[in-house]
């Protein structure tokens, strides 16, 4: 039986609203006919969520946000609350990304409050976890378990099955970085699944890999039994590259990509 795989992207601080519209216009023909065992989602900047809603409403592609404030309202200039995101049709909200932790000093206690806010408004939190530097795997596994336990501390038991996790080792993201080896990814995902299965009795929690994924590496990563999908960063800024990743490991109708690129090679 074919397993469901999730493939999503966060654009980070890229693409204006006009550029986002062009991105969706190029993507949609390229993923037309994508089989049901592959589900897609897109997390644009706050300023382009409305564009995602306009282009993706009625499609199988979900949209969401890259961050959220833990409070539902208040005097928090420049922040965006969960009810605002839910009102825009967001289904997934990313929390705990290494760049948020590094650049904004976010700690697990704050991330836990954000997870609770996302769930409170009917959306799914996508928690990013991962080690900063390479190290012995036993130490990595212990770090991941500790981070999960603290970042998910405020999730009520009935909501645990709605959590999503992205494994993003900080050393494997950003310009110039390379994806972790399939062997390392498999071990890390297995460790994450082991912890999550003990934590949640309500179903399987998907664990996506999100460290510098491209179309060349995607098939091997998706073939790993412990990898439930991919969370793509800079390589997805090219909509056709994201489409190639979405089709990774599947029989692909070549005419879809040829039509999307205007028949050019």
Q: CA 51, CA 57: separation in Å to the nearest integer?
A: 10
**Catalytic site residue from 69, 94, 97, 217:** 97
Find out whether 178 and 172 touch, Cβ atoms under 8 Å. yes
Q: Please measure the distance between the N-terminal and C-terminal CA atoms of the chain and give it in whole angstroms.
A: 35
197 is catalytic: no
Q: CA 240, CA 242: separation in Å to the nearest integer?
A: 5
Find out whether 226 and 247 touch, Cβ atoms under 8 Å. no
97 is catalytic: yes
| Token pair belonging to 256 | 């879809």
Q: CA 119, CA 57: separation in Å to the nearest integer?
A: 22
Comparing C-alpha atoms, which of 243, 171, 155 is closest to residue 205? 155
**Catalytic site residue from 94, 99, 131, 168:** 168
Find out whether 127 and 151 touch, Cβ atoms under 8 Å. yes
Q: CA 152, CA 164: separation in Å to the nearest integer?
A: 11
Residues recognised as catalytic: 97, 168
């Amino acid at each position: 039986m074919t397993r469901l795989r999730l493939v999503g992207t966060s654009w980070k601080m890229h693409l204006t609203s006009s550029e986002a519209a062009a991105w969706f216009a190029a993507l949609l023909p390229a993923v037309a006919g994508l089989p049901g065992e592959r589900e897609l989602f897109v997390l644009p900047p706050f300023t382009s969520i409305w564009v995602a809603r306009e282009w993706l409403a009625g499609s199988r592609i979900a949209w969401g946000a890259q961050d959220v404030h833990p409070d539902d309202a208040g005097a928090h200039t420049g922040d965006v609350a969960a009810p605002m995101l839910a009102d825009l049709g967001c289904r997934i909200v990313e929390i705990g990304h290494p760049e948020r932790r590094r650049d904004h000093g976010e700690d697990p206690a704050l991330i836990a409050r954000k997870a609770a806010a996302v769930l409170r408004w009917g959306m799914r939190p996508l928690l990013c976890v991962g080690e900063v530097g390479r190290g012995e795997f036993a130490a990595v596994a212990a770090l991941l378990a500790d981070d999960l336990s603290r970042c998910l501390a405020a999730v009520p038991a009935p909501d645990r099955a709605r959590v999503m996790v992205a494994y993003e080792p900080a050393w494997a993201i950003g310009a110039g970085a390379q994806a972790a080896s399939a062997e390392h990814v498999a071990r890390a995902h297995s460790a994450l699944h082991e912890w999550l299965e003990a934590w949640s009795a309500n179903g399987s929690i998907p664990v996506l890999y999100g460290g510098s994924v491209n179309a060349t590496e995607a098939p091997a990563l998706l073939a790993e039994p412990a990898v439930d999908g991919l969370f793509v960063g800079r390589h997805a800024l090219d909509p056709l590259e994201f489409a190639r990743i979405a089709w990774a490991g599947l029989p692909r109708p070549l005419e879809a990509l040829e039509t999307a690129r205007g028949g050019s090679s």
